[in-house]
């Protein structure tokens, strides 16, 4: 393959990635909206047999994922209050949280710590650009897969150990 052919292939893949991300964002919010609708309807009518309304199904979209989607879809950087307003506008039920802003701040902090969003100043956050995402992908591919796998295994073990310690304290 020539250099020009590689450039075209990269541009095509980047374009497809952008389209896929837009579709994922749409469907994340749509799934969340439908879940909220079902919960609302279940609360007013018959509850699904054998299932508590407070249980989260394994397929349910979590708050952090919805917050991430809100930030990715926004043309301007968002703060926690902006995210709360967006969640309310799509019908996301924040009533189950005693302090929704604290929960949103926590989700934003985790996303930022994980490198999934970037600080934009004034306590606002923005989505990563396509170039930043590609750079992160490229960085991973420059490291040997075995090193990446070992690092992920070590992080998973550490996370499980922290969770076990936390459970043991209870």
In whole angstroms, give the CA distance from residue 62 to residue 103.
Answer: 12
User: Quick one: residue 91, left, alpha or beta (phi over 0 = left, psi -120 to 50 = alpha)?
Assistant: left
Please indicate, yes or no, if residue 97 is contained in any of the structural domains.
Answer: yes
Tell the residue number behind the tokens 């307003």, with chain if given: 85
CB 85 within 8 A of CB 106: no
φ, ψ (nearest 5 deg) of residue 126: -130, 160
Please indicate, yes or no, if residue 25 is contained in any of the structural domains.
Answer: yes
Please indicate, yes or no, if residue 71 is contained in any of the structural domains.
Answer: yes
What SS3 class is residue 78? strand
In tens, the pLDDT along 14-52 reads: 788 888 888 888 888 888 888 878 877 877 765 544 454
pTM: 0.60
Q: And the tokens for 133?
A: 């995402």
CA distances from 117 to 77, 113, 122 (A): 10, 8, 15
Please indicate, yes or no, if residue 7 is contained in any of the structural domains.
Answer: yes
Please indicate, yes or no, if residue 77 is contained in any of the structural domains.
Answer: yes
The CATH number covering residue 94 comes to 1.10.10.10
In tens, the pLDDT along 61-98 reads: 688 889 999 999 899 999 999 999 999 988 888 888 99
Please indicate, yes or no, if residue 169 is contained in any of the structural domains.
Answer: no
The residue-averaged pLDDT of 111-128 equals 90
Q: Which domain holds residue 103?
A: 3-45+61-128
* Overall residue count recorded for the chain in this entry: 170
Please indicate, yes or no, if residue 160 is contained in any of the structural domains.
Answer: no
Please indicate, yes or no, if residue 162 is contained in any of the structural domains.
Answer: no
Give the total number of structural domains in the chain.
1
């Amino acid at each position: 393959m020539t250099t020009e052919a590689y450039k075209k292939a990269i541009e095509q893949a980047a374009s497809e990635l952008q389209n896929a991300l837009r579709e994922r964002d749409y469907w994340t919010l749509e799934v969340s909206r439908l879940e909220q609708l079902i919960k609302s309807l279940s609360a007013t009518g018959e509850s699904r047999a054998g299932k508590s309304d407070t249980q989260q199904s394994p397929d349910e979209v979590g708050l952090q994922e919805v917050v991430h989607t809100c930030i990715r879809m926004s043309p301007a950087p968002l703060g926690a209050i902006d995210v709360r307003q967006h969640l309310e506008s799509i019908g996301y039920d924040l009533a189950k949280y005693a302090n929704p802003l604290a929960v949103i701040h926590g989700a934003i902090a985790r996303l930022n710590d994980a490198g999934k969003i970037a600080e934009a100043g004034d306590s606002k956050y923005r989505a990563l650009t396509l170039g930043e995402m590609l750079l992160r992908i490229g960085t991973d591919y420059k490291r040997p897969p075995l090193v990446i796998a070992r690092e992920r295994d070590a992080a998973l073990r550490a996370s499980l150990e922290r969770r076990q310690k936390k459970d043991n304290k209870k």
